[in-house]
Amino acid sequence: MTQTVHDEPVELPEVREGEYGERVTVVEPGGAEFIPLSERHGRPTRLFWTWMSPNFEFATVFVGVLCVSVFGLTFWQSVAAIVLGTVLGSVTHGALSARGPQYGVPQMILSRISFGYRGNILPAGINALVAGIGWFAVNSVSGALALSTLTHMPRLLSLLIIAVAQIVIALYGHNLVHAFEKFAFPFLVVAFALAAIWTFDKSHLGAPASSGAFYHGFAGFTLALGATFGYACGWNPYAADYTRYFAPETSKRATGWWAGFGVALSCIALETIGAASATIGATGNSPTTAFTNPLPTFVADVTLIAIALGAVAANVLNIYSGAISFTTLGIRIHAKYRRAIIAGVFGVLGFLLAWSGLHNSATKYENFLLVIAYWIGPWLAVFFTDQLLRRGNQADLLYDTKYENWAGPIAMAIGMAVSIILFSNQTEYVGTIANHFPSIGDLTFEVGFVVSAIAYYIGYRIEHRGRTVVLPA
């Protein structure tokens, strides 16, 4: 649908069909369309538990474990890397979340402003696969291992139970997702607080760096920084998905604060617990049991329940936002509940991938964390550089199928290629410079961000083809 604004044709937003309101037990209709004003509801404070609960899981704890046991840092060096990496990822998360109420569309629709309608297939496609399938598999494994340890059920059966619970909640959509995170929040806080008390009591916070770690010194710090940033900013491509239902006049400051603070507080707290647990030196037949073995039986059992519940809390966001990202690719699915259908398909694919990852989960998880930062850094660079170069409300560009801005995907691709080929440092591949100078660790996301920002600035100034039409804010 088009109309004329300032004597130029402008595409009006595709409006989500159906009535949804604030009902929790009704399947959310539509896909990635604009949320009509009559359907807007919610307050920014709900974002606190929406972003706290999904990080109260073992995957977050394991980031801290990696800092000590794999990256060779002391506990306090780990805390420094955890705080710095998490704060960076949380600040960008808050900034992205704040735009949701104004535009009323998902994050990957907003990304079209910087990448163009077809160029946005690059970040949206990656996010759909990483969120709906990749993250789903990673968190499902940790939840399944916890449930199997607690109940002594076979790991595959535990994985199936976790996967079904996640898929059902995600199928219902936005309102049930928010409600579930609120419901899970109190128990998760209490459970991990108990685990923290005994973990810190038995930890050795002043212990030297592990001699058996794969990395040490500055190399270990940059790897830890990349992993902690990657974990926090892994939520960035979902940010506006959970704020787009707020009324347009909702405070941007409050929206950004509660979203960013929820991510920062939960990640810093649980990753710090993980780093402390690594100094104990406990062992187990899985990373999950190594974490819970030092705890009293009752506390260990409560913690295992929390790990399983936290995995579900994280993955309902992953499946939901992965499905939303897929609907932004321009593939027309003429079904009222197209997002729900896609969420179900992603859940099945994620389950199959998780099944293959039930063994050797530690190494696979480390690599996955670094890959997250590899693509999100360049994407963020393009997105924020574009916002600095533009002024006003660009709502007219969101659903314009003819709008192109090839500077965006080209800059992102250049940033990813240069940084990964030269600076990546993980078990599957070591970049040229990282191989010759191993002491630098992994600088992929830092280099990727800078290269993409510079490339986009040059490309935008030289060949930007976007329209200058501005709708009233």
Q: Which CATH number belongs to the domain containing residue 328 in this structure?
A: 1.10.4160.10
Question: pLDDT tier at 464 (50, 70, 90 boundaries)?
Answer: low
Residue type, 78: S
Residue that has been written with the tokens 């705080």 in this structure: 83
User: CA-to-CA distance for 283 and 289, rounded, in angstroms?
Assistant: 7
Q: Which long-range contacts (CB under 8 A, 24 or more apart) does 331-337 make?
A: 333/31, 336/17, 336/18, 336/29, 336/30, 337/27, 337/28, 337/29
Q: Does any domain span residue 402?
A: no
> Which is more confident, 286 or 357?
286
Establish if 275 belongs to a structural domain. yes
In this prediction, residue 9 carries a pLDDT of 42
pLDDT for the residue numbered 414 = 97
Rounded to whole angstroms, how far apart are CA atoms 27 and 175?
9
Distance in angstroms (rounded) separating the CA atoms of residues 322 and 315: 10
Whether 295 contacts 195, CB under 8 Å: yes
Q: Is the pLDDT of residue 7 over 80?
A: no
Paired strand residues for 2: 11
With 0-12 / 13-18 / 19 or more C-beta atoms within 10 angstroms meaning exposed / middle / buried, residue 279 is buried
Residue 6 has what pLDDT? 37
> In this predicted model, what pLDDT tens digit does every residue of 323-343 receive, in sequence order?
888 888 877 766 566 677 777
Report yes or no on 422 lying in a domain.
no
Residue at 90 is within a domain: yes
387 pLDDT higher than 50: yes
pLDDT for residue 162 is more than 80: yes
Average pLDDT of the residues in 106-113: 94
Structure letter (DSSP) for residue 36: P
User: Which of 316, 323, 340, 286 is CA-nearest to residue 142?
Assistant: 286
Q: How many domains is the chain built from?
A: 1
Within-domain flag for 465 = no
Q: What does the chain come to in residues?
A: 473
pLDDT reported for residue 468: 46
Cα(241)–Cα(78) distance, integer angstroms: 31
pLDDT digits (tens, 9 = 90+) for 279-325: 998 776 678 888 999 999 999 999 999 999 999 999 999 989 988 88
Average pLDDT (209-236) is 83
The reply to whether 437 falls in a domain is no
**Mean pLDDT over each residue of the chain, to the nearest integer:** 86
Q: What is the pTM of this model?
A: 0.88
**How does pLDDT run across 33-66, given as a tens digit for each residue?**
899 999 999 999 999 999 999 999 988 999 999 8
H helix runs in 118-251, sequence order: 121-129, 136-151, 155-172, 174-202, 217-233
Range of the domain at 92: 39-361
Lowest mean pLDDT among 36-50, 357-371, 397-411: 357-371
**Residue 161 within a domain:** yes
Residue of 226 and 241 predicted with greater confidence = 241
Q: Which two tokens stand for residue 141?
A: 């494994």
Spatial CA neighbour of 270 closest among 338, 195, 337: 195
Q: Is residue 385 part of a domain?
A: no
More confident residue, 254 or 167: 254
Tell me if 26 sits within 8 A of 322, measured CB to CB.
Answer: no
